[in-house]
Structure 1
Amino acid sequence: MAEVRARVKLNVGQHSHIPAEIVSFHGLKDGEEHVALIFNEADKNEVPLIRMHSECLTGDVFHSSRCDCGEQLNECIETMHEQGGIILYLRQEGRGIGLYNKIDAYVLQSQGMNTYEANNHLGFDDDLRDFSDAVLMLQAMGLNHVKLMTNNPRKLNALNNAGIEVDKVVGTHAHIKDGNRHYLEAKVKHGSHMLDMEKVPEKK
């Protein structure tokens, strides 16, 4: 495994021109162009906060009403701008089914299916993502002991099973808005995501 680093500035959320280092990798298994974003790199003796964020073009870029991905990403960036941390930005659109299939799933969700039922109807499992490349990315950066920012137990299990010690799990907020409550409820009930659906009022 090898890595290449470049210093860039980001414009996201309530902040502008957030300094970050973007890292590319050579030798990943699935052939996708995953990257890491490093914010305020902490002292080498501190356990870094990381997030494994799966790409969501519709949410991250176009702020889709169907999900909370863009809001989670912005929350994570703002937290790491203040505290330091690393985002592993993984090219796993639609929990691994790809963008076009996710749009097909949107049509089925409009007909009443939840996000998992729609994927199953299209012939896919609930979640096709594999986080072994995320493990390789952490190892390439010399990290085997982290704090993990997630609500998804699958990500925690993936790191634990790979021998990455997770010192603490830090959850993101429930970003409830008009159009995504059904999606979030399905993640809690079907996917066992650790979200408090009553903690944050719904946004219009």
Structure 2
Amino acid sequence: MIEISNEANLPTQFGKFKIRAFREIKSNQTLEHLVIKTQDLPQNPLVRVHSECLTGDALLSLKCDCGSELHIALQRIQKEQGMVIYLRQEGRGIGLFNKVNAYALQDTGLDTVEANLALGFKDDERDYNVVKFIFDFYKLTHIRLLTNNPSKIKIFETMIKLEREPILTECNQHNAHYLAIKKEKMGHLL
């Protein structure tokens, strides 16, 4: 079941947006996702499906590229018209507690994929079913998907007509290995 909030104004450092929450109620959990969008959506909007990363998005961690991707997406969407679908699926779906445990394993030399596997998870535990609901809610039929993740492209191509647009961030000494693993083990288009 999915509940939908009212729409509200959201002025940000990136510009003025509209915001709406989608409460996804599953048998074992409730997740509250967000859509941050421009006032108007063109026929082929720029869309970023972004999974929550508290450490990158809010704390501006240098260990990943998440916060930078979110900021680039908001800047581009403000300019080109579109939306960010912000999914509450921390740590590729393993949750904040397990993500911190994965970080600790990474501190011992494991990479991001190996750490998730060592904790008993798949390399990516995310579920994108709510995204189809959001596409339908906004009557989207064709998007420009802002991503480097081939798995997202494959999943979303079953939901909507799309063109992929890259989202490239700065590499630093703290995330260079992380980005290399995303490219080598997860096939990201970097």
Would you call these one fold, judging by a TM-score over 0.5?
yes
Q: Does 1:110 align with 2:112?
A: no
| TM-score normalised by the chain length of structure 2 | 0.92
**1:183 pairs with one of 157, 163, 178:** 178
**2:161 pairs with one of 159, 162, 165:** 165
Please tell me the root mean square deviation across aligned C-alpha atoms, in Å.
1.5
Higher mean displacement: 106-115 or 168-177? 168-177
- What are the Cα deviations for residues 18-55 of structure 1, in whole angstroms up to 9, with x where unaligned? 10000122566563100100025234xx2111010000
- What are the Cα deviations for residues 124-165 of structure 1, in whole angstroms up to 9, with x where unaligned? 001000111111111111112111000001111111123x11
Q: Unpaired runs of 5+ in structure 2?
A: none
Q: Distance in 1 between matches of 2:41 and 2:88?
A: 26
Aligned residues: 186
Summarize the Cα distance change of 1:62–1:157 in structure 2 as closer, same or farther, 3 Å threshold.
Answer: same
Q: Unpaired runs of 5+ in structure 1?
A: 196-204
Query: Which residue does the alignment assign to 1:53?
Result: 50
Task: Quote the offset at 1:2 in angstroms.
Answer: 5.8
Structure 1: which 4+ aligned runs deviate by more than 4 Å? 26-30
Is the Cα–Cα contact under 8 Å of residues 40 and 83 in structure 1 kept in the other structure? no
Task: Quote the offset at 1:183 in angstroms.
Answer: 0.3
Is the Cα–Cα contact under 8 Å of residues 40 and 80 in structure 1 kept in the other structure? no
Describe the SS at the equivalent of 2:186: coil
- What are the Cα deviations for residues 82-106 of structure 1, in whole angstroms up to 9, with x where unaligned? 1111000000100000001111111
Q: Distance in 2 between matches of 1:100 and 1:22?
A: 27
Is the Cα–Cα contact under 8 Å of residues 72 and 175 in structure 1 kept in the other structure? no
Q: Does 1:89 align with 2:91?
A: no
Q: Distance in 1 between matches of 2:178 and 2:22?
A: 33
Query: Which residue does the alignment assign to 1:124?
Result: 121
Query: Which residue does the alignment assign to 1:137?
Result: 134
Q: Distance in 1 between matches of 2:139 and 2:105?
A: 43
**1:77 pairs with one of 62, 67, 74:** 74
Summarize the Cα distance change of 1:113–1:143 in structure 2 as closer, same or farther, 3 Å threshold.
Answer: same
- Which residue identity does 1:171 align to in structure 2? P
Is the Cα–Cα contact under 8 Å of residues 111 and 181 in structure 2 kept in the other structure? yes
Is the Cα–Cα contact under 8 Å of residues 57 and 93 in structure 1 kept in the other structure? yes
Summarize the Cα distance change of 1:27–1:127 in structure 2 as closer, same or farther, 3 Å threshold.
Answer: closer
Q: Distance in 1 between matches of 2:92 and 2:76?
A: 24
| TM-score normalised by the chain length of structure 1 | 0.86
Q: Does 1:192 align with 2:187?
A: yes
Provide the identity percentage. Answer: 37
- Which residue identity does 1:165 align to in structure 2? K
Q: Does 1:23 align with 2:45?
A: no
Describe the SS at the equivalent of 1:127: coil
**1:68 pairs with one of 40, 65, 69:** 65
Describe the SS at the equivalent of 1:19: strand
